[in-house]
Chains A and B, each alone.
Chain A
Amino acid sequence: MSKRVIIEPVTRVEGHGKVSILLDENNKVTQARFHIVEFRGFERFIQGRPYWEMPVVVQRLCGICPVSHHLAAAKAMDVIVGADKLTPTAEKMRRLMHYGQTLQSHALHFFHLCSPDLLFGFDADVQIRNVIGVALKHKDLAVQGVMLRKYGQEIIKATAGKKIHGTGAIPGGINKNLSTNERDVFLKDIKQMLVWARGALKVAKDYTVENLEMVKPFGSFDSNHLSLVRSDGAMDLYHGNLRAIDAEGNKIFDQVDYSKYLDYIAEEVKSWSYMKFPFIKSLGPEKGWYRVGPLARVNTCDFIDTPEAEEARKEFMAVTDNKPNNITMAYHWARMIEVLHSVEKINELLNDPDLQGNDLVVKGERRNEGIGLLEAPRGTLFHHYKVNDDDQVTMANLIVSTTNNNIPMNRAVQKVAADHISGAPEITEGLLNHIEVAIRAYDPCLSCATHAMGKMPLKVTLFDYQGNEIETKTKE
């Protein structure tokens, strides 16, 4: 008799989703899916709104990394207003905002959402395996997580006006510079942030290396990887061209102008999820799916242009003999490399006098279509708009970071389910944990992915082969 297991809601991720697992008569996993059950419809309801509202309204998709949407929309609006090259002050202020948010988002994910799994083990008592448990047992680490995140958020406040949902980036530029007073406050603490970022990187690295035999197969699989890279191949989270590589590191395409993304990327819709399934057109939906985010970025770039993060990248790549790393749990290590990179970048920018410039906005020839991409904390983020002559948005297409990771997350769930459930149809706490740990590695933001709202807890349900529900367990 076949059975279906449902995990709903999935906890310690952003948004609301569930997992369903189908077992055959011998309790072998035949199918495992990660369903995103939120629906929001941002792309529709912004139609008719004036284009200059986009950076402010679309960021409301998310409360975790709204800066990504704010900046991606602003980049698209730069195209609309004909601002082909921003002033140095505008571009650097936006970059500072972006590195601030990458720092705070990654810190939130690693310290608050994931560290309980890594520090206490996947099977530890749920009473301990939570952020409070971390605060009690590993006080220093918990405090560092909070303080790193706070620093990132203060950077966002200084550049966007508010820690969440600010207004800094406007079509063609930015609405403020960084005062010397603001700069000095950040410079005072930057060395401490560097120390803590190095510490966080060490925790993630040591965990992966020490548990390599366990994490190597855990929810892992070969995949393509996609990200923006700078024209010289460096990692660049704010701007660049598209590069896709396969699991061996061969380039599928490289230095693609992202305004031509539709020639390279398509999206598939499936009836069982509100999240779309993007793929590389030339490879088709079966083989063209890819991973994005920290793991993909460290894999795709040729180097990182800050010294400590570059050293860390080399160590990371050495684990897989300089071939792309396809280990799902290595996302955590890659994410902490980016934390260190972000702090190094913030330090670089704070010492740049361009941030005190007063030339904030440029304009050019008005256009009716704008595309803006950047590397959000969770991966490549696509914003595409059409605007009529009356300045109203007529079309919006948002491919959000987590959407790009849709199939990979499903693969990870399938792999963990096959490895841990087959032969054991009973839903145990351990099973729930393992599946969540795999999903969490991707740091999905399901609210963003479906452009949806609400909390995101995890539910698992068990069905028999006729579709009758046997058992459901829910975690709020």
Chain B
Amino acid sequence: MSNEINFVIDGVEVTGKPGQTILEACDEAGIYIPRLCRHPELTPRGSCRLCTVLVNGRPQAACTQPITEGMIVESETEELNENRRNIIDMLFVEGNHFCMFCERSGNCELQALGYRFGILAPKYDYFYPKREIDATHPDIFIDRNRCILCGRCVEASRTVDGKGVFEFVGRGPERKIAINAEQFLKDTNLKITDKAADVCPVGAIIKKRTAFTTPIGKRKYDKKPIGSDIEEKRKKD
């Protein structure tokens, strides 16, 4: 069996390795496919659908779809990007995202994607949902107003930390992140050193007393759009 798999994405020939997903192979090749729920150290869930690409004409999540020899992938199409923009737009209005005072601002993946896609104002009406916050843990603060249900914390707690502190409950609009305690986060065995406390792409799970310590201008997405680190690999090659 060959150790190389060749495929084409947006007209560019890419060589990947067996077992890689489209997203992994493209990351290595310096081609950025937008994503939100995907975290490089966690098992991909394919839940946010932001990385949806067309594989031989059929929509697939690039973070879960393995590469195959000769596949033709389309990512940077007008239609796919419009779908991505709509997903981001909907995520913004579905929660209560106030970037202007959110401590994750500048380091937030949702905000950074909003900027990358040129979303200056939401096109849908805000839901203004009533969401719970939990400040009881001595080191960690949960603000469900900002949760986008990506599932990273669920996955990290279960598979990396081996604890299962977080889990989804409810369906559809009622879906939310629950904790494995009667009422409060302080009653779980979550530790600040846990992976689950470190993977939230937005400001829903935050470490207490660390806010705003990085000055504006030095935050992750202050200077370059999200995905630039991946795209720079290609430029160097």
Contacts and interface: CB of A to CB of B under 8 A. Distances in A.
A50 B212 contact: no
Contacts of A391: 135, 141, 208-209
> Of residues B208, B209, B211, B215, which shows the largest number of chain A Cβ atoms within 10 Å of its Cβ?
B215
Contacts of A165: 100
B214 interface: yes
B141 A56 contact: no
A233 interface: no
A176 B135 contact: no
B136 interface: yes
Interface in A27-75: 48, 50, 52-53, 55-57, 60
A167 interface: yes
B138 to A, nearest CB: 9
Nearest to B135: A390
B208 A50 contact: yes
A136 B209 CA distance: 51
B100 A53 contact: no
A256 to B, nearest CB: 31
Interface in A138-193: 160-162, 165-168, 170-171, 175-176
Nearest to A363: B209
Given A60-B100, A165-B100, A167-B216, A53 B211 contact: yes
Interface in B117-146: 133, 135-136, 141
Interface string A388-427: 0011100000000000000000000000000000000000
A167 B214 CA distance: 9
B215 A168 contact: yes
B216 A166 contact: yes
B148 to A, nearest CB: 20
Nearest to A172: B209
Main secondary structure of the interface of B (DSSP, over half): loop
Contacts of B101: 53, 56-57, 60
Contacts of A56: 100-101, 103, 211-212
B40 interface: no
Contacts of A166: 216
A116 B9 CA distance: 62
B100 A161 contact: no
Contacts of A175: 212-215
A176 B101 CA distance: 18
Interface in B27-77: none
A170 B213 contact: yes
B133 A52 contact: no
A167 B215 contact: yes
Contact of A161 (B209, B211, B215): B215
B172 interface: no
Interface centre among B133, B208, B213 (most CB of A within 10 A): B213
Interface of A: 48, 50, 52-53, 55-57, 60, 160-162, 165-168, 170-171, 175-176, 361, 390-392
Interface of B: 100-101, 103, 133, 135-136, 141, 208-209, 211-217
The 3 closest A-B pairs by CB, nearest first: A161-B216, A57-B101, A176-B215
10 contacts: A48-B135, A50-B141, A52-B212, A56-B101, A57-B100, A162-B216, A170-B211, A170-B213, A171-B209, A175-B213
